[in-house]
Structure 1
Amino acid sequence: MKLKATLLKLEKNTQGRDFVVGDLHGHVTKLHDQLAALNFNSAVDRVICVGDLIDRGPESAEALNLLNEPWFFSVIGNHEYLMINGMRYKSSRHRMAWLNHGGDWITQTSPALWDDWFDAIEALPLAIEVEGSDGSRYGIIHADYPHSHWQEFGHLTPELLEKCIWSRSQFQCQSRHVVNGIDYLIHGHNVNGGDLQLGNRFYIERGAYLGNDLVIKEL
């Protein structure tokens, strides 16, 4: 699978609330429990995930099945990327990396289910853009956005596309640079203590697979 600069623009939610959640990593029950505490209403509210739905937790299949729900959206994460390349496109390098990082749950599932999951993963956008309740524009992308302006999104090279789902450099150096053309960006991928803001970027991956609660941020 070749990464593409796909951007899903969601219409503003005028009927309910929008939430962004960090990497699920197979913790669907935890997601539902935390949403229930927020009085989440699936008829009008929406959830957007920063990617890495699968692996390391007990409910990876259930996490992929969330993609069938009309209230749930996600961008692609590096774990989905490894899964699709390793399983559908038979890359031994990606398959071994995936299995070594939590992908072995696939051996407990029926191959009859796999094509639907692969199709759903290939349909995931690289990024999602949505307007929040206060009029701010949010961009959700898994690990990083390497350009200085959001309008350059369509000009991501193959190398920069990889950085969008893999890079830790901006997080590790705690860069406070601002990405122009968007009010806020929201990332997962890099585990931190909570809702960390650097410049106009939020990092919301707390590490559910480590026993921590998910970060669920209302927009």
Structure 2
Amino acid sequence: MIKRLFQRFVGQPDMPDVAPDSPFIAVGDIHGRADLLARFLDTTPPHPIVCVGDYVDRGDSSAEVLRMLRARPDITCLSGNHEVMLLAFLKNPTGEGPRWLHNGGLQTLASFGIASVSQISGAEALMRARDQLYEAMGPDLIAWINGLPAYWQSGNVAVVHAGADPVRKLADQQIDTLHWGHPNFMKTPRVDGIWVVHGHTIVDAPSATQGRIAIDTGAYATGRLTTALVAPGRTTFTEIT
């Protein structure tokens, strides 16, 4: 089901109206919900699409989500912290594996047909799982994930995964901040007039306030994938269930 939640005009005393160069649609954290992603794409969205990252982990169909997105070069896909953890596992399975598996990596492995590992597996099992994952994904898909940008901008609207340091220009952000967030992001309004669309932090309902547009409604757990149509002067949220 596709449900428009509400249309919000976002002019505020301390922020300019949102003013992208042209309308676009931002998609919240997908986390393995290929069914919701397919439902959204089946609507033939009329504007460019930008995904905020976190395509893998927690949901059951991470492999399918990655393959769907990689097959759509017209969609701008950003990297999230869960893509960072997956890549770290491929490079250092014994050092990075336990954290990734604890945060949903087990579901990603299962989506690629790998089930011979757990959160308490030893080094040998983790190395074996890494080798199996590399073979299942293939170098082209891994290279695609490696090449995902950390942010995208149109006019005075930027899209990132987790957040941004409110006192740094977008071009000067630390990449870890864009992937994992910043302690002052939710506390301190930006002073440069840039609106930041983000996921990463699950919210009960999407919102556009104080220069932040939050669209992660926890699709893997709630069954609600949120998108935001960002156009000059307004943001329209839509829920895919």
Bin for the TM-score computed over the shorter chain: 0.7 to 0.9
Q: CA RMSD in A?
A: 2.4
Describe the superposition over 1:129-163 as per-residue Cα deviations: whole angstroms up to 9, x where unpaired. Answer: 124xxxxx3201111111425xx33333xxx4322
Provide the C-alpha distance between the structure 2 equivalents of 1:179 and 1:201, rounded to a whole number of angstroms. 12
Q: C-alpha displacement at 1:99, in angstroms?
A: 1.3
Secondary structure at 1:62 match in 2: helix
4+ residue segments displaced more than 4 Å:
none
Provide the C-alpha distance between the structure 1 equivalents of 2:87 and 2:139, rounded to a whole number of angstroms. 10
Q: C-alpha displacement at 1:181, in angstroms?
A: 4.9
Secondary structure at 1:20 match in 2: strand
Q: Which amino acid aligns with 1:20?
A: A
**2:222 is matched with which residue?**
211
Identity of aligned residues (%): 26
1:22 paired with 2:28, answer: yes
Describe the superposition over 1:56-78 as per-residue Cα deviations: whole angstroms up to 9, x where unpaired. Answer: 11210121111231232211100
Q: C-alpha displacement at 1:209, in angstroms?
A: 1.0
- Which structure has more relative contact order (CA 8 Å, sep 6+)? It is 2
Secondary structure at 1:169 match in 2: coil
Counterpart among 76, 87, 100 of residue 84 in structure 1: 87
- Report 1:32-111 matches (<5 A): 32-36=38-42, 39-41=43-45, 45-65=47-67, 66-87=69-90, 89-104=91-106, 105-107=108-110, 108=113, 111=135
Q: Which amino acid aligns with 1:216?
A: T
Q: C-alpha displacement at 1:90, in angstroms?
A: 1.6
1:143 paired with 2:155, answer: no
Seen in structure 2, the aligned counterparts of structure 1 residues 179 and 25 have a Cα distance that, compared at 3 Å, is: farther
Provide the C-alpha distance between the structure 2 equivalents of 1:69 and 1:12, rounded to a whole number of angstroms. 22
Counterpart among 154, 165, 168 of residue 179 in structure 2: 165
Larger Rg: 2
Q: Is the 8 A contact 2:193 2:211 kept in 1?
A: no
Q: Which amino acid aligns with 2:219?
A: A
Q: C-alpha displacement at 1:179, in angstroms?
A: 4.5
Counterpart among 154, 158, 165 of residue 130 in structure 1: 154
Q: Is the 8 A contact 1:175 1:198 kept in 2?
A: no
Q: C-alpha displacement at 1:113, in angstroms?
A: 2.5
Seen in structure 2, the aligned counterparts of structure 1 residues 95 and 199 have a Cα distance that, compared at 3 Å, is: same
- What number of residue pairs does the alignment pair up? 188
Counterpart among 177, 196, 201 of residue 212 in structure 2: 201
Q: C-alpha displacement at 1:195, in angstroms?
A: 1.3
Q: Is the 8 A contact 1:45 1:71 kept in 2?
A: no
**1:192 is matched with which residue?**
203
Q: C-alpha displacement at 1:26, in angstroms?
A: 0.7
Provide the C-alpha distance between the structure 1 equivalents of 2:57 and 2:229, rounded to a whole number of angstroms. 25
Seen in structure 2, the aligned counterparts of structure 1 residues 60 and 176 have a Cα distance that, compared at 3 Å, is: same
Describe the superposition over 1:94-114 as per-residue Cα deviations: whole angstroms up to 9, x where unpaired. Answer: 222111111123251662423
Q: Which amino acid aligns with 1:82?
A: M
Q: Is the 8 A contact 1:12 1:130 kept in 2?
A: yes
